[in-house]
Chains A and B, each alone.
Chain A
Amino acid sequence: MFNARDIRVLYKRELRCAMRERSIIINSIVLQIVLYPALLWLVYTGISFVQGQTEGFTSRIMLRGIPGEHQLLRQELEKSERIAITESHDPEADLRAGSLDLLMEFTPAAAEAAAQEGNFQVRLTYDESKDRSSMALERVSELIDRYRDHFLDQQGRRFGLTSQQLQPIWVASKNVASSRQMGQFILGRMLPVFLIIMLNIGCMYPAIDSTAGEREKSTWETTLTYATSRANIIAAKYLYVSTIAAVAGILNLTAMLLTVRSVMAPLLAGRAEDFTFRIALSSLPLILLVDILLALFVAAGMMILASFARNFKEGQSLVSPFYIAVFLPVIFLQAPGLELTPAMALVPVANVTLVFRDAISGIYNWPLIGVTLAVEAVCILLLLWLATAILRHEDYVIGSYGGSFGKFLKEKLLRSGRK
């Protein structure tokens, strides 16, 4: 059925044309290398800038009923460069209007808390929907904590006790993750998302160009006159689109790995040495396999849909729902605690991205990897079977069929299946 020599000749022709097509070069190669590292750097720099701006604001707070025993706290608040004490006739209205950031009210402690003279309750009123107000809460809470520790320390000294002796439990945390593991954790969150996005973008243009693009350029009939089987023509096109998609994915991964430190620098300020962004060499074969499987899956889906279009524009609108459908499972990957389980191994796309995430961290759950690869292979075979069934219809092949993929499925495939 297939002729390797003919497929090679056709594949070379497709690749040669693609490498001279500006839109394919830009979307499948240049964007993969440049765009996302640059975009991420811009986004993270922007976030750091906004955070810096928020931190630079002075918090406007109002004090109400501060007791004489705690005037030192007032002095501490006044000393802070980032806090300004202000007055308001209607503090709650001012908080909502954004002209006040926080109201600090002191009330005498009740019940058991009132046992000690000078015990007070502080109620902090703020507007969580405003960054400035949340920042004021953070600053004041920190200052109160420090003041309380200092106060307790002084009280303890009166009884001959140090603050350490007064505190029965000390909390000390230790992060056992190495800088490399920390880096792998971040890479595991980021890279699968970008792999899916970039592989989709990289695949979309060649998939449309090799199908709807041929109709638009009136080369489809020329292609149908080759002295080779249609199976060879489709196989060469499929290999070509899958190659570009896989290369797009790998290029993006490489670019992200090479630039991740610089890209993340604005966010990691002061903690950069805690992270080492490296992937174990042993995980590369599995990562490559994931990339190829995703490329084969996405290429098959996109080519089937794009082949119903008569021009590039129509192709883009037909392929877009598939693009979104492929991307949806990846959004759930960001949910905390989501792991590669037997159930997740059955979900296409999500399963391979979870395998990819684990591989970055050097985790290999071979039985589940096996299930994942099998599920993905079945999906690819199903898509190829669908493509073969569609190709049996002459009106589709010669481009005279005017309906959509859904209509074709309903009218031709399902109806003929029922017969």
Chain B
Amino acid sequence: MNEPVVVRGLTKTFYDESRGEVRAVQAIDFECRAGEIFGLLGANGAGKTTTLRMLSTILAPTAGSAALLGYDIVRDPGRVRQCLGFYSASTALYPKLTARETIEFFARINQLPEKKVPGRVDYLIERFGITTYAGARVDRLSTGMKQKVSIARTIAHDPPILIFDEPTVGLDVLNALELQNMIRELRGQGKTILFSTHIMSEAEKLCDRIAIIHNGRILACDTLANLRMSTGMHYLEDIFVHYVKGQA
């Protein structure tokens, strides 16, 4: 139980008026190790976002448990969020704040000690090349600029665990590549990264270990090399189809 992220029997059931009871996530188990990129690979509606939303305490689990750095997501949500940076396509920035104000605000509200805030903000602005537009409002920035500010605000409080939920959705190839490089760099700094995607090539390139998730269940979880070995297939796409069809 020493891994930064430990998930045990995590389950989420929704009630939908038209579909009735929907079991979005069904008793999943996994662990993420320090300094690795752990990929959740699944089609749309597989349960990736629901899982990550539970880990980030946005949603409460119906059953099971999860702990981040030993903090339980139900009993200690504030601590969990403090040691976590959450980035997704649906976590937009506040359009009326400037880039600098955005990073400052997230550093403060995510409990970075006040003394460290100015130095941390300056470092991130320089690190991400935001200097020239640090004083510009977010609603006047280009998509690429916003993406940099978004990552900077995600790590503003220097969290040890980062969640990236389908981060490249809506980005062009160059911006997507730049984002992948940044994620690699964060791994290099020792961060534990949970990365969800439905793009096979992205998972292949980035993830140290991959969990294939389908219909709310984890069908396989291993390194790409081991997945290749156990299925006898080379391409992740084929491996993915193999497991999904196997379940069907």
Which B residues are within 8 Å of any A CB, using their own CB? 14, 17, 53, 56, 58-60, 78-79, 81-82, 84, 86, 88, 90-97, 101, 105, 108-111, 137, 157
Does A21 make an interface contact (CB < 8 A)?
A: yes
Choose one: A17, A226, A400, A402; the contact of B110 (CB below 8 Å). Answer: A226
Does A79 make an interface contact (CB < 8 A)?
A: no
Does A410 make an interface contact (CB < 8 A)?
A: no
Contacts of A395 in B (CB 8 A): 14
Choose one: B79, B91, B94, B105; the contact of A225 (CB below 8 Å). Answer: B91
Q: Distance (Å) between the CB of B248 and the closest chain A CB? A: 28
Q: Distance (Å) between the CB of B241 and the closest chain A CB? A: 31
The stretch among A43-51, A215-223, A240-248, A250-258 that forms the contact with chain B is A215-223
Does A10 make an interface contact (CB < 8 A)?
A: yes
Choose one: B59, B97, B105, B157; the contact of A398 (CB below 8 Å). Answer: B59
Give A9 to B17 CA distance when docked, in angstroms: 39
Supposing A9-B105, A9-B108 touch, asked if A17 and B92 sit within 8 A by C-beta, the answer is: no
Give A21 to B96 CA distance when docked, in angstroms: 7
Choose one: A219, A228, A229; the contact of B93 (CB below 8 Å). Answer: A219
Supposing A16-B101, A227-B82, A394-B60 touch, asked if A218 and B91 sit within 8 A by C-beta, the answer is: yes
Does A92 make an interface contact (CB < 8 A)?
A: no
**How many A residues touch B, CB cutoff 8 Å?**
24
Does A224 make an interface contact (CB < 8 A)?
A: yes
Choose one: A9, A21, A218, A228; the contact of B78 (CB below 8 Å). Answer: A228
Which A residues are within 8 Å of any B CB, using their own CB? 6, 9-10, 13, 16-17, 20-21, 217-219, 221-222, 224-229, 394-395, 398, 400, 402
Residue of B nearest to A226 (CB): B109
A227 near B78: Cβ-Cβ < 8 Å: yes
Residue of B nearest to A21 (CB): B96
Supposing A227-B78, A228-B78, A394-B59 touch, asked if A219 and B94 sit within 8 A by C-beta, the answer is: yes
Q: Distance (Å) between the CB of A231 and the closest chain B CB? A: 11
B90 near A221: Cβ-Cβ < 8 Å: yes
Given contacts A16-B96, A394-B59, 7 further A-B contacts (CB under 8 A): A6-B109, A16-B97, A20-B96, A217-B95, A218-B90, A222-B94, A225-B84
Choose one: A20, A219, A221; the contact of B58 (CB below 8 Å). Answer: A221
B92 near A228: Cβ-Cβ < 8 Å: no
